[in-house]
Amino acid sequence: MIGTLGSLLPAPLVAAVGQVGEGFFHERSSDTLPCQAQPGHLFCFDWAREHIDRFEKPALQQLELVVLSVLLGFVVAFALALIAHRKHWLRPPLLAVTGVLYTIPSIAFFFLLLPLTGFGRDTAIIVLAAYTLQIIYRNTMVGLAKVPASVKDAARGMGLTDRQILWRVEIPLATPEIIAGLRIATVSTVAIATLAVFIQAGGLGTQIYGSGNLTFPTVVIIAGAIGMLMAFAFDLMLLGVQRLTTPWRRAVVT
């Protein structure tokens, strides 16, 4: 899939913006030098077409980072929310702790964990998961709180136990909010996972923050575009999951 990415880019547009910033210093060399050796080029289409393969491995690494950390974050945050749903006194401290974890800039967080977990993927996953906690936890709590008391009363009247009410009534009704939280968390994580390169955890960041890449816009644009496409793909997929898991909402005419 990634291999075909280069051919999707509109060539005339790329050629047009490629002319930006070419001063008289480069006029003579522009005929002979390949595009990537000339400063001021926004996007080198030829280079992109030839080198698109090198993005495959970083993209898959990034995908792995995102999936594992969002899964971990979801399991932890969802469990915390269910506990806090029963034990009201836990809510303020949980909100505060997840809030602080959310506030710590991820790049600082990566390095704060280094003395404990070292370089590599594990540290990145822990940090990215910690970052998602607040969003998923808060959305789950909002979703559970929105379930009308009358619905729970009706369920209780039909003979459901507290546990059954939670799993069969409250959580299904809270699903749109829960998935909304999951969407925000996933999209943010895709973007932040780019920074995992700083602790040698791979990902698309390797293509941006590599030797000389920082000054070569083409590589940065491709890596950034793959990241954004990945984020949108996750977003659409989760939206689909929400539609599938809440069939009753499709019947509601508002």
Partner 1 sequence: MIPVHPVFASFSGAIEFIFTPQPSNVTGGKLVGGFTQSMELLLTQLEVTLIAVVLALIVALPLGLYLGHRGIGEVLAIGLGNAGRAIPELAVIALVASLIGVGLLTVAPALAILGIPPILTNAYVGVREVDRSTVDAARGMGMTELEIIRRVELPLAIPTVMSGVRGATIAIVATATIAPLAGVTTLGDYIINENVYGQNGVLAGAILVALLAITLEGLLALLQWRLTSDGLKLQTA
Residues that bind partner 1 in the complex, under the rule CB under 8 A: 21, 42, 99-100, 102-112, 114-120, 122, 184, 187-188, 190-192, 194-195, 197-198, 204-205, 208-209, 213-217, 220-221, 223-224, 227-228, 231-232, 235
CA nearest neighbour of 36 among 25, 28, 47: 47
User: Least distance to partner 1 from the beta carbon of 150, Å?
Assistant: 23
User: Least distance to partner 1 from the beta carbon of 102, Å?
Assistant: 7
User: Least distance to partner 1 from the beta carbon of 140, Å?
Assistant: 18
Residue 186 near residue 235 (C-beta atoms within 8 A): yes
Of the pair 166, 204, the CB lying nearest partner 1 is at 204
CA nearest neighbour of 179 among 115, 133, 243: 243
Of the pair 66, 169, the CB lying nearest partner 1 is at 66
Count of H helices and E strands in the chain? 13, 0
Q: Which amino acid is at 164?
A: Q
Torsion angle in degrees (nearest 10) through CA of 227, 231, 232, 237: 140
Of the pair 145, 151, the CB lying nearest partner 1 is at 145
User: Least distance to partner 1 from the beta carbon of 230, Å?
Assistant: 8
